[in-house]
Structure 1
Amino acid sequence: MKIGILQTGHAPDEVLGTLGDYDTMFARLLDGHGFEFETFNVVDMDFPDGPDVCDGWLITGSKHGAYDDLPFIPPLEDLIRGIHAASRPMVGICFGHQIIAQAMGGKVVKFDGGWSVGRREYDYKGETLAVNAWHQDQVVELPEGAEVIGSNDFCENAALVYGDRIWTIQPHPEFGADMVDALATHRGPGVVPGSLLDNTRAQLDAPIQSQKVADEMAAFLKQGALAHV
């Protein structure tokens, strides 16, 4: 099964040589599920020819906001709606979660409650799930047809499904402790409050359930692809 990775941003230069870019992180996260990957750097205006180029789609995180006036945002929203119309399965992470919601008619804002960074616990389908987060923006109004399957006190709409075709989540299952530490070092200072960065570093060794999220993501993509055949 071929998964198209729509890369909407790039990892900090400081980690590219060790952890790779976001597409590499997702390929590593989903290793063992039998996927083939093709990356499209949509943030750099590298777009696929259409929704049928791949069997399923994954939209990455980004330092940009879904509401930003950037050249890649409108064509990406068009592609998201096209993928949905073509009944191809699609998953979105952080910015991907937000841009899909916006493209489908929801609303994304810079949350006035501030940042969520590092290990966070979510109520996911009735279970407690710990995953690393790094965001200030949030989906605050749901699109028609979106169902909340994950939330916590800080982020009400942390995981969404749209029928059996779209699955999205606000935190970052692809971020391990090394990536969170790198973000706290290279992108956090002067942007994220110091107390949050200190707390994040103090929890770097605490367990997270990234593999459980990866397995759920993979199962959703495979089930959606089978339903399309």
Structure 2
Amino acid sequence: MSDIVHKWYEDKKNVDEMVYCNKGELKKWERAVADFFPKEAKILDIGCGMGREAFALFDSGFSIIGIDISEEVIKQVAKLSLKNCYDINFLVYDGYTFPFDDASFEVIIIWAQTFGLLYGDTYKSKFLNECKRVLKKDGLLSFSGHDYDYLMEHHKQYLSGRKFYPYANTEIYWEAFLPQELLSYVENAGFSVVLCEPGKIHKTEDGIVLHCLCRK
């Protein structure tokens, strides 16, 4: 994981802002994808942040483990989980290798456009192979990224090439993608594509993201 990303997510000020922004519900496209998950599936939430997705999926009857590169994030989300009586294990990991045995999960999610923080093709390729390792046979992987065409049309001022800078005066950026690029990552990693499409957040004015659902 890039030092830029790690530094940003260890900053307590940024993590506190994540707590403030946590709405506690799934987005429209996330709800649609979750309908594909097996009932009571064991889910690995990569880049769990402050637990919005984990808490919502737990409430829907799934078993969740959340991991994140930030000790500050894990400290705060674990405290929040305990406070609200959620039986969810939140762990720090190194951004490269998952601390789980092969074939441990039925579903992996990499939501909140975290895929765009895996800078470079080599990193993404190795990351997807690690996802494949810990997925069970026929397991599902769902991930999302920022839509380059949408950003060019609506937020061009925050783009520098394929780098999307939503926060002023910071080094952190999210890579933006075209649909075919996400498909290529999936296919090169040996997954079969279930769907790869734009997804709505809540309302039309909230914008869209690209997301892929694939099967081991």
Query: Same fold by TM-score, threshold 0.5 exceeded?
Result: no
With the shorter chain as reference, the TM-score category is 0.3 to 0.5
Q: TM-score, normalised by structure 1?
A: 0.38
